[in-house]
Amino acid sequence: MHKLAVCKIGGRISFGKVDKDGNVSNARDTSGGNGEAKAIIDIAQKSGKFDITILTKTTSKDYFPKEYKFVDAVKLLQEDKIESFLAKQDFDVLLLINGSINCFGGAEQSIMSDLALYKAMHFFKKKIVFCSCDICIPFVPDIWKTVAPKEWSSKYKQEDFDLGGKTFYMLTQARDLDALHKILDSKKGNVFKRENIDNFSFEKFPCENAIQYVDVNPSPAYDLLYGGTLRAGRRIKKIVNWYYNHPSLNIELFGNMDQDKIDAVAKKVYGIFHKPSFNDPVNYLENSKKMNQALATIVIGDDMYEETSTVQQRAYEAMCANVVTFIDEKLDKLHNVYGFNPGLEKFLYLQSPSQLEKRMQMLKDTPELRAKILSLQQKIISFDRQEWYNVFAEKLLK
């Protein structure tokens, strides 16, 4: 059994206990980022190859599943025991799950988890693997730039956070790894050599969560649903292109979105336009139930996703929710999701909004077409789980 230590940049890893009614004992468990972290840990555990320790900030209210060991990383930092802890445990791999470093209001408490993690990276002697489930969230190798200006920085030594000379490996769901490396290398501070970047299909991890699976809805309330954010404005043009100006379709967008910003772009594109309805965000565990209210959805992505052929988790979440899942072809130029089936490939990749309207009408006019597509999508998400777990373990250890 190999020893694996897991950390998350920019946040805690916490487990909520779900009761028979679906209630979660820890609100943090309902966030997408935390759900992502737990899914990755679950994949590693189910490979059967690892003894897993989770290094994170812990609280007395946390639920600690018996499959894992939990160590309070902040307490280790405060007691200056990170180096000795790592030496004693002798982990084979340190797994970093992507996230953004936060120092809210310049407060020391808000960044202590990350300080503990970066100090652990400094003292770690073996393989460090960065799990990039969102290639638009970069790995920041120098945390000291954030710490140095703060009045409390004198409590720490800069050299304890120095990552110079370290070798970093990346696992990413991007398929065009050459394109990804070119983008990374064009930015200051890239620590990933091309030969140390590999692909793993993280986009499939929603299939691991039983709560994501919903039966076919015989009477969807909406034609199209899309849930998410504007991704710092990067997603606005895609939303306008695919979800605006369809007066014949009942469309709702839900999530944290600034309607005025989207409308301003739509006005430039269309002049007079028809807009969808908007609604509030739902928590991570409610997403599938919400999506199940739609006949279909269109999976869209940021420009960087398109440039690197990065398939998103949204595609697999939608299939689990039994929604006809169209994909903007620019996002999956290599046809990784549907390329194995000529029928799905022809129908579910979209090149234009006019194609969307025609195919939506076909779905409405031909119920058996919808049923056939949903059946085939279920086969896609019924992939060989154990093989998937084993591939992940192999890539962590090679």
**CATH number, domain at 351?**
3.40.50.2000
Q: The domain containing residue 238 runs over which residues?
A: 208-380
Q: Which residue type, as a one-letter code, is found at position 28?
A: R
**337 assigned to some structural domain:** yes
- Is the distance from CB of 132 to CB of 43 less than 8 angstroms? no
**Residue partners of 294: CB distance under 8 A and separation at least 6:** 220, 221, 222, 223, 224, 225, 252, 323
Q: End of a domain among 166, 200, 234?
A: 200
Tell me the pLDDT band of 377, cut-offs 50, 70 and 90: very high
What percent of the chain has a predicted confidence (pLDDT) above 70? 96
Claim to verify: residue 179 and residue 223 sit in the same structural domain: no
> For the chain, what is the domain count?
2
Q: Residue 26: its pLDDT value, please? A: 54
pLDDT tens-digit readout, 311-357: 889 999 999 999 999 999 999 999 999 999 999 999 999 999 999 99
**100 assigned to some structural domain:** yes
**390 assigned to some structural domain:** no
Q: Is the pLDDT of residue 225 over 60?
A: yes
Q: Coil, helix or strand for 2?
A: strand
Q: Is the pLDDT of residue 24 over 60?
A: no
Give the separation between CA 351 and CA 349, rounded to whole angstroms. Answer: 7
Claim to verify: residue 76 and residue 101 sit in the same structural domain: yes
Q: Residue 388: its pLDDT value, please? A: 97
Q: Is the pLDDT of residue 65 over 60?
A: yes
- Is the distance from CB of 42 to CB of 385 less than 8 angstroms? no
Q: Residue 217: its pLDDT value, please? A: 97
**396 assigned to some structural domain:** no
Rounded average pLDDT over 196-202? 97
Claim to verify: residue 14 and residue 99 sit in the same structural domain: yes
Claim to verify: residue 137 and residue 265 sit in the same structural domain: no
Q: For helices 82-89 and 112-123, give the axis angle rounded to 10 degrees.
A: 50
**385 assigned to some structural domain:** no
End-to-end distance of the chain based on CA atoms, in angstroms? 15
Q: Is the pLDDT of residue 28 over 50?
A: no
- Mean of pLDDT over the chain: 92
Strands (E), the chain: 2-8, 50-56, 69-72, 93-97, 127-132, 168-172, 197-199, 222-229, 251-256, 277-279, 294-299, 324-328, 349-350
Q: Is the pLDDT of residue 79 over 60?
A: yes
Give the separation between CA 213 and CA 41, rounded to whole angstroms. Answer: 20
pTM value is 0.90
**394 assigned to some structural domain:** no
Rounded average pLDDT over 122-136? 95
Q: Residue 208: its pLDDT value, please? A: 86
